[in-house]
Structure 1
Amino acid sequence: MYQFSYAEVTQDSSATAREREREALDRMVDALKHAEAAGPRSREAIDAIYLTRNLWSVLVEDLATPGNALPDELRASLISIGLWIMREAEAIRLGQRESFSTMIEVTTMIRDGLGE
Structure 2
Amino acid sequence: MSVTAYKRTISHTEAPRQIERRILAQVTSELETQFLEFDNAERRLERLQLLADGLRHTLLKNQMVWSTFKMDLTETENGLTPELKASIISLALWVESHTQGVLAGGKPVKPLIDINRTIIDGLSGRQFETAAE
TM (norm. structure 2) is 0.70
Aligned residues: 102
The residue type equivalent to 1:25 in the other structure is L
Query: Does the aligned pair in 2 maintain the 1:25–1:111 contact within 8 Å?
Result: yes
1:64 maps onto 2:96 in alignment = no
Tell me the equivalent position of 2:54.
44
Aligned to 1:96, the other structure's residue is in SS state coil
State the match for 2:44 in structure 1: none
**Shift in Å at residue 38 of structure 1?**
3.8
Match of 1:113 in 2: 122
Given that 1:52 and 1:86 are in contact with CA atoms closer than 8 Å, whether structure 2 keeps it comes out as no
The answer as to 2:25 corresponding to 1:26 is yes
1:3 corresponds to: none
Q: Distance in 2 between matches of 1:90 and 1:35?
A: 17
Q: Which residue of 2 aligns with 1:5?
A: none
Residues 31 and 44 in structure 1, CA contact (< 8 A), matched pair in contact too: no
Distance 1:47 1:38 in 2: 16
Equivalent position amino acid for 2:84 in 1: L
Give the structure 2 partner of residue 103 of structure 1: 112
Kept in 2: contact 1:34–1:44 (CA 8 A): no
Displacement of 1:96:
2.6
Aligned residue number for residue 90 of structure 1: 100
Q: Which runs of 5+ in 1 are unaligned?
A: 1-12
CA distance in 2, matches of 1:50, 1:38: 18
In percent, how many aligned pairs have the same letter?
25
Give the superposed CA RMSD: 1.6
Q: TM-score, normalised by structure 1?
A: 0.80
How big is the shift at 1:28? 1.8
Structure-2 separation of matches of 1:64 and 1:31 = 28
Give the CA deviation at 1:45: 1.5
State whether structure 2 residue 88 is matched by structure 1 residue 78: yes
Q: Which runs of 4+ in 1 moved over 6 A?
A: none
